[in-house]
Amino acid sequence: MASPSDLAVSEMDFDTVPERSWVDKIKDTARKKPLGAVSACAVLVMILLAAFANVITFYDPVQNAFDSMHVAPSVTHWFGTDQFGRDIFTRIVFGARTALFVGFSASILGSTAGLILGVGSAYFGGRFDLIFQRFMDIFISFPLIIMALSVVSIFGTGTQNVIFAITIPLIPRCARVVRSSALSIREIPYVDAARALGFAHVRIISRHMIPNVMAPYLIMLTSFLGQAILLEASLSYLGLGVQEPTAAWGLMLQGGAEEYAESAPWIPVFPGLAITAAVFAFNLFGDAVRDTLDPRLRSE
């Protein structure tokens, strides 16, 4: 049994609790959230694949090789080759580069723009907020893919425009979520206190409000990653995204699915699997991030 002196906790003890090392923290998190840990590993692997694509692969992702078309998966070509004789494994690894580049840029741009607009809208409030939110409603009323399609049809295809096209529909989705939590922060006295200290609007928004809405921002950001990757694949599949000969999963699926689904199923199957795995991993990762950052959603 514990003696009273063991139970007594002085203020000093709170202050001197040693900081646990980050390794311990990671182990702890992994134990609590095994799915999150697995998805984080998958995401990490994908990032590494994309980063070291030219080291990992032995073939050229764009160069046609007509002497080795439609080769079934083998030791030399792990996932086989496509109709132009290009190694599918190589193209999938390089495709990860495209997918991640587009996915990360679009979701970071989209959610950051949403963050600024959402916090600004909540901070200024009143009529500005009202009108601004109605604009956001209009944008949100279009499904992601329709919005992205219309942006692409205005600005044309190509990697940059695809990023742009995916960014635009993500902005209002993040802006709305961030606004709702910024609204409650707006009412906490320290925002008025900051005004009473003579700070300008921009400074109050950037230093005093944005840091307090980082949790919803990060949640939106990670949940956008999967969506953005899927959207990029969809656009490419429809021929409105990344253009040949750049390696992109949606593009590979499109080329293979129509003609070779029966005769050379490895051509559409592997890019399809890549898309599935990537979106699945990013969504799980997003969920894990949300569960960690938002205590209200913890399912324990």
Contacts with another protein by CB under 8 A lie at 126, 188-190, 192-200, 203, 207-208, 211-212, 214
- CB closer to another protein, 4 vs 189: 189
List helix spans (H) across the chain: 4-7, 11-16, 22-32, 34-51, 53-56, 88-124, 126-140, 144-155, 159-186, 189-196, 201-203, 214-237, 249-260, 266-293
Least gap, CB of 190 to another protein (angstroms): 5
C-beta of 57 vs 181, nearer to another protein: 181
Cβ proximity to another protein, 188 vs 277, nearer residue: 188
Q: How far is the CB of 119 from another protein (least distance, A)?
A: 14
State how far the Cα of 206 lies from the Cα of 241, in Å rounded to an integer: 35
Q: Which of 89, 78, 82 is nearest to 66 (CA)?
A: 82
Please say whether the beta carbons of 166 and 228 come within 8 A: yes
Give the residue among 177, 291, 286 at the shortest CA–CA distance from 230. 286
Select 117 or 191, whichever has its Cβ closest to another protein: 191
- The distance of closest approach from Cβ of residue 198 to another protein in the complex, given in angstroms and rounded to an integer, is 4
Minimal distance in Å, beta carbon 181 to another protein? 13
> Least CB distance from residue 71 to another protein, whole Å?
56
Instruction: Copy the structure tokens of residue 42.
Output: 């998958």
Question: How near is the Cβ of 207 to another protein at its closest, in Å?
Answer: 7
Quote the CA–CA distance of 170 and 147 in Å, as a whole number: 10
Q: State the residue for tokens 């070779």.
A: 260
258 vs 261: CA distance, rounded Å:
7
CA–CA distance, 117 with 175 (Å, rounded to integer): 6
- Cα–Cα dist 248/232, whole Å: 9
**Nearer to another protein by C-beta: 14 or 66?**
14
Find tokens 């990697």 and name the residue: 159
99/185 with CB nearer another protein: 185
Taking the least distance from each CB to another protein, the nearer of 47 and 194 is 194
- What distance in Å separates the CA atoms of residue 54 and residue 45, rounded to the nearest whole number? 15
Cα–Cα distance for residue pair 256/251, rounded to 1 Å: 9
Contact criterion met (CB below 8 Å) for 274 and 94: no
- Yes or no: say if 167 and 154 are a contact pair by the CB < 8 Å rule: no
C-beta closer to another protein: residue 195 or 298: 195
Nearest approach, Cβ of residue 42 and another protein (Å): 31
Least gap, CB of 221 to another protein (angstroms) = 18
